[in-house]
Structure 1
Amino acid sequence: MSATLIFLAASYGAAVGLLLPRPAYRLSVEPDEDWRAHCPAGHALTGAARGWLGPGHCRDCRAPHGPAARPFATATALVCAALAAATGPRPELAAWLLLTPVVVLLAVVDQRVGRLPDALTLPLAAAAAATLGAVGWLTGAPGSWLRALLAGLALTAYYLLLHLLNPSGLGLGDVKLALGLGIVLGWYGWPVLVAGGAAGTLLGALYGTYLLLVRRVGRQTAMALGPFMIIGAFGVLLVAAVTAP
């Protein structure tokens, strides 16, 4: 059963990963710009190419829209397989798999343009709350869901404080991302929330220190923290899922 579950999760991850290159391309814009509606050569996206899902090419010049599809499929497949292996057939696995493509897309967009769009962070938090609420209702564990919501608010408050202390180093997009990640981490308890939040901050600080040491950035250079928040939360979530009763 475990091998079958992992295979099915990986297959799902590969399938949804193939849908992500186009939204990654269209959402990877600066904060004051509209979502991309032109190919890299400047031709307007029309018809199906103007949609939001799947790989695509410009009808006029055949330029690809966004990154290659294969790395997306591979990444989402590996993430989904790891979550299935760690969580097993417990109901919350459905929530983790549903949220995975959004989280992968957020990490890619933030890495590309240093932005975490509200169009992704806020639905992520809403979907996390809704799916875990359904899990809590089905399993008779509403306390876990309530704790998850409170954890989301707590992690958001923590990142908001960091933003207020250093607005140039941590944006509001990171604060909004913390809401969804906090809800997910809080499902397994307060220690998991603390560990997941600390892991993201620590990973970002270590990478920033490395860049300073090799003189690739200056002290005032902004750095995308979102991918490190996601990686830290993902690692802690795996450990929590394995050790959960």
Structure 2
Amino acid sequence: MNSIPTIRAVVRAPGAAARITLRVVVVMCGLAALIGLVARLGNDRALPVVVLLAVVAVPLAIVDLEEHRLPNHLVLPTTLVAATLLTAAAVATEAFDVLVRALLGGAVMFGLYLVGALASPRSVGMGDVKLAALLGLVLGWFGWSAWVAGLTLAIVIGGVVAVLAVLLRRATLSSALPFGPSMLAGALAAVILIA
């Protein structure tokens, strides 16, 4: 007997249509963000970093929405590559003050989320904390206004999603909802709007 499920079996599985729809929506949002970032930044030296972030945001959001986790094998290497690309951009433009601000932004956002995780482990997971370092790094490159906007937009988007989930009876007031997609959407929106 073949152990690989057929397409028909997968599509007919409970929740399969919802998972497929969710993935399509996330991919479309990622594509829209990518287009917006390229249009906004043009030939900016930081464009490769935000393109990387937009591309990695798609699988991160899907995994977090489906499994309530942000995989280290995606977050940690992306953070390392982003730091390397930003360092190269700083060297090329002699913008070492901007690099220091980016590193500080990553450290401060990591610290804020770590405090949140220690204070309320059910609300903020360690995956969110690690993702915060990456997002703070990228947002810090674009300035403190973008950094604050990214942090604020994540909270606003997360709040709106939570209210909608409760109103649509997809969640209760005590449900744990994934926050990574809101963090990613807030950061990408901040770069598009503020950078």
**Superposition CA RMSD, Å:** 2.5
- Give the structure 2 partner of residue 225 of structure 1: 179
- Give the structure 1 partner of residue 137 of structure 2: 183
With a CA cutoff of 8 Å and minimum separation of 6, indicate the structure with the bigger relative contact order.
2
Match of 2:58 among 84, 104, 112: 104
- Give the structure 1 partner of residue 13 of structure 2: none
Cα distance in 2 for partners of 1:76, 1:223 equals: 20
Runs of at least 5 residues in structure 1 that lack an aligned partner in the other structure: 1-40, 44-57
Classify 1:161/1:80 alpha carbon distance in 2 versus 1 (closer, same or farther; 3 Å).
Answer: same
User: 1:130 offset after TM fit, Å?
Assistant: 0.9
- Give the structure 2 partner of residue 150 of structure 1: 104
Q: Percent identity?
A: 34
Decide which structure has greater helix share. Answer: 2
User: In 2, are the aligned partners of 1:163 and 1:172 still within 8 Å (CA)?
Assistant: yes
Matches within 5 A, 1:72-111: 74-111=28-65
* TM-score of the aligned structures, taking structure 1 as reference length: 0.67
User: In 1, are the aligned partners of 2:30 and 2:58 still within 8 Å (CA)?
Assistant: yes
Alignment deviations for residues 3-53 of structure 1 (CA, whole Å, 9 cap, x no partner): xxxxxxxxxxxxxxxxxxxxxxxxxxxxxxxxxxxxxx843xxxxxxxxxx
Match of 2:83 among 129, 138, 141: 129
Cα distance in 2 for partners of 1:75, 1:151 equals: 25
* TM-score of the aligned structures, taking structure 2 as reference length: 0.83
User: 1:128 offset after TM fit, Å?
Assistant: 1.4
Q: Equivalent residue of 1:219, what SS?
A: coil
Q: Equivalent residue of 1:108, what SS?
A: helix
Aligned structure 1 segments of 4 or more residues deviating by more than 4 angstroms: 61-64, 66-76
Amino acid at match of 2:128: D
User: 1:67 offset after TM fit, Å?
Assistant: 5.3
Cα distance in 2 for partners of 1:74, 1:202 equals: 21
The count of residues paired between Structure 1 and Structure 2 equals 184
Match of 1:238 among 184, 187, 192: 192
